């Protein structure tokens, strides 16, 4: 059974279902439309938004070269199309420059290549449609490769944005998978909630189950990737392209932050709630949001992602202020460990993952905070 919904409808009136009062037929109808709308559009805002200083994200190599990688949460296993927008410019003139995005989710992968012509207005967008895995996937890995045109043109990227496209209305009939095949969202057929149609207890049970499932949908709170393999024919100086930001350093302690809202009842939810995904080279230990994060790699040159479940001190970290909402400060802690352990560099960057100095055993290449 399919459903329809109309964005112009007002919110349901909860008092219309109080015991002893006559039920307004519009209330279950609006409730059904609202829950369907929440599955179709919930968490379809940006999962990635990153901007760069001038001449930092730049590439002249005439072959596609990997430069950044991010972890992003899924909206659901039904949301299969990721829209990506890139703001760029070319230094020089060419029609052979490209940006290629590769999205990996479990064993599934897809890619899209965007041409970056010099005659463009500096903004391109495209989308990846991926065959979603069957179960137990709630995040993907997004990699960006960039191609310049040798001595003819350098590609400079200013911003990268990505979001999951909303599912079109009406939602198709049948059970929907959030992240597993054993837990279903059940779309409401709104023709059954119209005037003078009988309601059963199934309506209430399905509504509660659907709300419980929707509360487990992940959102992206903080997403960052370094820029490696930068190269420029036009700006070869170390103060320009060769000095791109590859690792998280001590300077990020005061600048890399976000304010996730963790509403009432969040702490009582079970399962994965607040995760930090860390891409690192070698071993590194640092403090984030009141948690000590220990990345333990096989060797000092091993590059890989690790996942950490965070706990928070709600009293210490809450930033409610005058808005009376439970926002929290998500950031690298201002600790001695962070100032001493976060990456520093030996010299100019001539390799994809340059060596950190002798005082450090590893460094952070990418970081994503995601939660429900």
**Which of the pair, 37 or 200, is modelled with greater confidence?**
37
User: Is 90 exceeded by the pLDDT of residue 24?
Assistant: no
pLDDT at 8: 47
Asked whether residue 275 falls in the same domain as residue 260, the answer is yes
Q: What percent of the chain has pLDDT over 70?
A: 80
For residue 166, being part of any structural domain is answered with yes
Asked whether residue 209 falls in the same domain as residue 259, the answer is no
Mean pLDDT of the region 123-136:
92
What residues make up the domain containing 300? Answer: 246-372
SS3 337: helix
pLDDT bucket at 227, cuts 50 / 70 / 90: very high
Asked whether residue 146 falls in the same domain as residue 252, the answer is no
**Which of the pair, 310 or 272, is modelled with greater confidence?**
310
pLDDT at 1: 36
Q: Among 91-95, 200-204, 276-280, 330-334, whose mean pLDDT is lowest?
A: 200-204
Asked whether residue 361 falls in the same domain as residue 269, the answer is yes
pLDDT tens string 303-312: 999 999 998 8
For residue 9, being part of any structural domain is answered with no
Which candidate, 197, 186, 190, 193, places its Cα nearest to that of 170? 190
Asked whether residue 136 falls in the same domain as residue 265, the answer is no
User: Is 60 exceeded by the pLDDT of residue 20?
Assistant: no
- CATH number of the domain enclosing 92: 2.60.120
Asked whether residue 348 falls in the same domain as residue 265, the answer is yes
pLDDT at 7: 42
SS3 211: helix
pLDDT tens string 140-196: 999 999 999 998 999 999 999 999 999 976 687 789 999 988 888 988 876 666 655
Contact predicate 332/248, CB 8 Å? yes
pLDDT at 262: 81
pLDDT tens string 229-261: 888 888 877 666 656 678 898 889 989 999 888
Asked whether residue 270 falls in the same domain as residue 341, the answer is yes
Any idea what the Cα angle at residue 26 is, between residues 21 and 31, rounded to 5°? 100
Asked whether residue 363 falls in the same domain as residue 289, the answer is yes
pLDDT at 70: 98
For residue 197, being part of any structural domain is answered with yes
For residue 4, being part of any structural domain is answered with no
For residue 252, being part of any structural domain is answered with yes
pLDDT bucket at 3, cuts 50 / 70 / 90: very low
For residue 263, being part of any structural domain is answered with yes
For residue 154, being part of any structural domain is answered with yes
**Which of the pair, 22 or 284, is modelled with greater confidence?**
284
- The burial of 166, by beta-carbon neighbours within 10 Å (0-12 exposed, 13-18 middle, 19 or more buried), is given as middle
Asked whether residue 188 falls in the same domain as residue 320, the answer is no
Report the domain count for the chain.
3
Mean pLDDT of the region 63-88:
96
Q: Among 62-76, 97-111, 246-260, whose mean pLDDT is lowest?
A: 246-260
For residue 64, being part of any structural domain is answered with yes
Which candidate, 229, 226, 214, 143, places its Cα nearest to that of 179? 214
Asked whether residue 129 falls in the same domain as residue 25, the answer is no
Asked whether residue 68 falls in the same domain as residue 136, the answer is yes
- How many whole angstroms separate alpha carbon 26 and alpha carbon 261? 31
Asked whether residue 185 falls in the same domain as residue 146, the answer is no
User: Is 60 exceeded by the pLDDT of residue 6?
Assistant: no
Contact predicate 209/182, CB 8 Å? no
């Amino acid at each position: 059974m399919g459903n329809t919904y109309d964005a112009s409808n007002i919110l349901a009136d909860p008092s219309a279902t109080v015991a002893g009062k006559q039920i307004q037929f519009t209330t279950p109808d609006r409730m059904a439309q609202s829950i369907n709308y929440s599955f179709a559009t919930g968490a379809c805002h940006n999962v990635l938004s990153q901007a760069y200083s001038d001449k930092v994200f730049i590439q002249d190599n005439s072959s596609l070269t990997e430069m950044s990688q991010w972890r992003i949460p899924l909206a659901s296993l039904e949301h299969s199309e990721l829209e990506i927008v890139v703001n760029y410019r070319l230094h020089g003139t060419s029609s052979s420059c490209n940006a290629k995005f590769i999205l990996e989710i479990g064993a599934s992968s897809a890619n899209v290549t965007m041409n970056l012509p010099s005659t463009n207005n500096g903004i391109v967008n495209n989308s990846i449609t991926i065959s979603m895995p069957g179960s137990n996937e709630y995040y993907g890995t997004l990699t960006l490769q960039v191609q310049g045109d040798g001595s003819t043109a350098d590609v400079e990227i200013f911003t990268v944005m990505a979001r999951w496209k909303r599912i079109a209305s009406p939602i198709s009939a049948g059970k929907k998978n959030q992240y597993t095949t054993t837990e279903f969202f059940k779309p409401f057929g709104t023709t059954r909630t119209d005037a003078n149609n009988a309601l059963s207890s199934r309506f209430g049970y399905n509504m509660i189950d659907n709300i419980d499932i929707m509360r487990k949908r992940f959102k992206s709170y903080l997403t960052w990737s370094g820029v490696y393999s930068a190269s420029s024919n036009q700006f070869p100086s170390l103060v320009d392209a060769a000095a791109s930001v590859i690792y998280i350093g001590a300077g990020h302690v005061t600048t890399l932050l976000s304010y996730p809202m963790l509403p009432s009842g969040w702490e009582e939810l079970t399962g994965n709630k607040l995760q930090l995904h860390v891409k690192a080279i070698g071993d590194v230990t640092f403090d984030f949001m009141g948690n000590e994060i220990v990345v333990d790699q096989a060797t000092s040159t091993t590059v890989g992602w690790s996942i950490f479940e965070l706990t928070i001190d709600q009293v210490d970290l809450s930033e409610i202020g005058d808005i009376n909402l439970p926002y929290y400060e998500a950031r690298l802690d201002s600790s001695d460990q962070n100032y001493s352990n976060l990456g520093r560099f030996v010299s100019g960057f001539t390799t994809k993952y340059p060596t950190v100095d002798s005082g450090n055993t590893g460094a952070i290449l990418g970081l994503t905070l995601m939660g429900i």
